[in-house]
Structure 1
Amino acid sequence: MRKSLRAAAVIVMSMMGAAPALAAYPDHPITIVVPVAAGGTVDMLARIVAKGLEGKLGQPVIVENKAGASGAIGTRYVAKSKPDGYTLLAVANTFVSVPEFLPGAGYDALKDFAPVTQTCSIPMVLVTPPGRPEHTVREFIEFARKRAGSATVGSSGLGSTGYIAAELFGAQAKVKFLHVYYKGNSQALLDVMSGRLDGMFDQVSTSGPNVKTHRLQALAVTTKTRSSMLPDVPTLDEAGLPGFEDETFNAIMAPAGTPEPIVAKLHDAIAAVLNQPQVRERLAQQGIEAKASASPQAFRSYLQAYLQKYQRIAAGIHGK
Structure 2
Amino acid sequence: MTDFLAGRIDFMIDSQTLLAPFTRDNQVRPLAVTTARRSRLLPDIPTLDQAGVPGYSASSFQVLLAPRGTPGEIVAALASAVVEAQADAEVQRRFADAGVDILAGAAAPFVRAEADKWLPILRASGARP
Superposed CA RMSD: 2.2
> Residues of 1 paired with 2:87 and 2:34: CA distance?
24
Per-residue CA deviations over 1:213-235 (Å, capped at 9, x if unaligned) read: 00111111111221111111111
Q: Which amino acid aligns with 2:60?
A: T
* Alpha-carbon distance, 1:309 to partner: 2.7
Aligned residue pairs, count? 127
- Residue 72 of structure 2 corresponds to 260
**The residue matched to 1:251 in structure 2 has which SS?**
coil
> Residues of 2 paired with 1:287 and 1:300: CA distance?
22
Per-residue CA deviations over 1:152-184 (Å, capped at 9, x if unaligned) read: xxxxxxxxxxxxxxxxxxxxxxxxxxxxxxxxx
Per-residue CA deviations over 1:113-132 (Å, capped at 9, x if unaligned) read: xxxxxxxxxxxxxxxxxxxx
> Residues of 2 paired with 1:222 and 1:271: CA distance?
27
- Residue 33 of structure 2 corresponds to 221
After superposing on structure 2, the runs of 4+ consecutive aligned residues of structure 1 that deviate more than 4 Å are: none
Given the superposition, is the C-alpha separation of residues 273 and 285 from structure 1 closer, same or farther in structure 2, using an over 3 Å criterion?
A: same
> Residues of 2 paired with 1:194 and 1:309: CA distance?
34
- Ranked by relative contact order (alpha carbons within 8 Å, sequence separation 6 or more), the top structure is 1
Gaps of 5+ in 1: 1-185
**The residue matched to 1:226 in structure 2 has which SS?**
coil
- Residue 294 of structure 1 corresponds to 105
Given the superposition, is the C-alpha separation of residues 217 and 246 from structure 1 closer, same or farther in structure 2, using an over 3 Å criterion?
A: same
- Residue 113 of structure 2 corresponds to 305
- Residue 59 of structure 2 corresponds to 247
Given the superposition, is the C-alpha separation of residues 224 and 305 from structure 1 closer, same or farther in structure 2, using an over 3 Å criterion?
A: same
Identity of paired residues, percent? 31
Gaps of 5+ in 2: none
Contact 1:229–1:286 (CA under 8 A) maintained in structure 2:
yes
- Residue 4 of structure 2 corresponds to 190
**The residue matched to 1:218 in structure 2 has which SS?**
coil
- Residue 13 of structure 2 corresponds to 201
**Residues 155-174 of structure 1 correspond to what in structure 2 (within 5 A)?**
none
Per-residue CA deviations over 1:21-45 (Å, capped at 9, x if unaligned) read: xxxxxxxxxxxxxxxxxxxxxxxxx
* Alpha-carbon distance, 1:258 to partner: 0.7
* Alpha-carbon distance, 1:285 to partner: 1.6
- Residue 315 of structure 1 corresponds to 123
> Residues of 1 paired with 2:113 and 2:32: CA distance?
24
Q: Which amino acid aligns with 1:302?
A: F
**The residue matched to 2:77 in structure 1 has which SS?**
helix
**The residue matched to 1:199 in structure 2 has which SS?**
coil
Q: Which amino acid aligns with 2:120?
A: R
* Alpha-carbon distance, 1:308 to partner: 2.6
Q: Which amino acid aligns with 1:306?
A: E
**Residues 1-320 of structure 1 correspond to what in structure 2 (within 5 A)?**
186=1, 190=4, 194-195=7-8, 197-289=9-101, 291-295=102-106, 299-318=107-126
* Alpha-carbon distance, 1:301 to partner: 2.5
> Residues of 2 paired with 1:236 and 1:274: CA distance?
29
Per-residue CA deviations over 1:81-131 (Å, capped at 9, x if unaligned) read: xxxxxxxxxxxxxxxxxxxxxxxxxxxxxxxxxxxxxxxxxxxxxxxxxxx
> Residues of 2 paired with 1:281 and 1:211: CA distance?
22
Contact 1:222–1:235 (CA under 8 A) maintained in structure 2:
yes
Per-residue CA deviations over 1:40-62 (Å, capped at 9, x if unaligned) read: xxxxxxxxxxxxxxxxxxxxxxx
